[in-house]
Amino acid sequence: MEEIIFPNQIRMYRRLRGRSMQELADHLNVSLSAISKIEKGYRRVDQEQLVKVSEFLDCPLQDLFVNEQNSQQEIVLAWKREQERRNKINEKSGLKTLGAGLRQIRNEKNLTLIEVAENADMTLSVYHRIEMGQREVSEKEMKNIAKALKVSVDELKAQIKDLDEKGFLEEIIQRNDAKYKLLSTPRGAIASFVSATQELPKIQVFGTAGKNGDLLINFNEEVKRIASPLNPQSAKDCYALNLCTRRLGNLLPARSILFVNSQEPVSVGDIAVYYTSENEAKVVSIREDEDGNMFGMQWNPDEKITLSNDDMTKLHKVIFISL
């Protein structure tokens, strides 16, 4: 199975991490020319290479995909056709039913996504994709998930089959489909919602420079408003911040804007805004130590920020960066 990787996001994350094209080429064991073609969207990469790119750049897989704001229309249309093709494959293979069943059983047991993911020895983003019906599950992973849900594999399969036959999963599948369509729409996709003649939706921007590279955020005092690169439905749950800190070094221009969603779960590889108080926050990269515990990392100077389970609600995920 091949993934089409379009321009912009791979290059953006590579630069954000301070990595060179040659380093990425060496990691994938391909030529420098191949990396150039991949970043420009002229060359496909297989699933294994895609995972290696994600690991090397320390970011979720879905964050590597096309950004309509900077991509040509034919590329965006090809992306949509590929997503539709994959959606049909997933539907035929029963992944949607499996994902919906896992979500229903998890909710019945009052377990969170994070709890099941950790107990199944998975990252949050991987397990979330399984529940969304957008990722195949190996036999070993199925055993780990069943163990995390405190049932045997056979019992788990039987419960999912019973829920499906009783019609309990259809609503979950429909919700997952709606959310997947939103997630699989290229970020910044406004064209399908707003015509070229209309004014683009505006989003509030907050944040002024604080001490030690922190941000001062007063939601009662917006700094400005800018045209949103997000579709209207996504923008409802988002706000924007000035990148008025040098704790990311020179990897991003000072004029960059961070688009933040407080409702999306944060996982390893994400960039997030960590609130140390009601009006103060740090911009951090989410990492994982050898024991599987998440922590935040700042640079210039390097600073490791320990995160407890209670801190998860203080983390707001950066879902888009406007350069």
| pLDDT score of 4 | 46
Q: Which of 36-50, 126-140, 160-174, 272-286 has the lowest mean pLDDT?
A: 36-50
Which candidate, 64, 123, 132, places its Cα nearest to that of 268?
123
User: How far is the C-alpha of 216 from the C-alpha of 198, rounded, in Å?
Assistant: 33
Q: How many structural domains comprise the chain? A: 3
219 and 309 in a single domain? The answer is yes
241 and 269 in a single domain? The answer is yes
151 and 223 in a single domain? The answer is no
The secondary element (H helix, E strand) that includes residue 13 is helix 9-16
| pLDDT score of 118 | 87
| pLDDT score of 195 | 35
Inside any domain, residue 22: yes
Question: What does the pLDDT average to over 26-32?
Answer: 91
**Res 17 pLDDT > 60:** yes
Domain stop point among 128, 152, 184: 184
Question: What does the pLDDT average to over 132-160?
Answer: 90
| pLDDT score of 275 | 94
Residue 62 belongs to domain spanning: 2-66
Which candidate, 157, 154, 146, 113, places its Cα nearest to that of 132?
113
| pLDDT score of 263 | 83
Which pTM value belongs to this model? 0.45
CATH number at residue 212: 2.10.109.10
CATH number at residue 53: 1.10.260.40
Inside any domain, residue 81: no
β-strand pairing of 280-288 with 215-216: antiparallel
| pLDDT score of 41 | 67
**pLDDT classification of 188: cutoffs 50, 70, 90:** very low
**Res 9 pLDDT > 90:** no
**pLDDT classification of 187: cutoffs 50, 70, 90:** very low
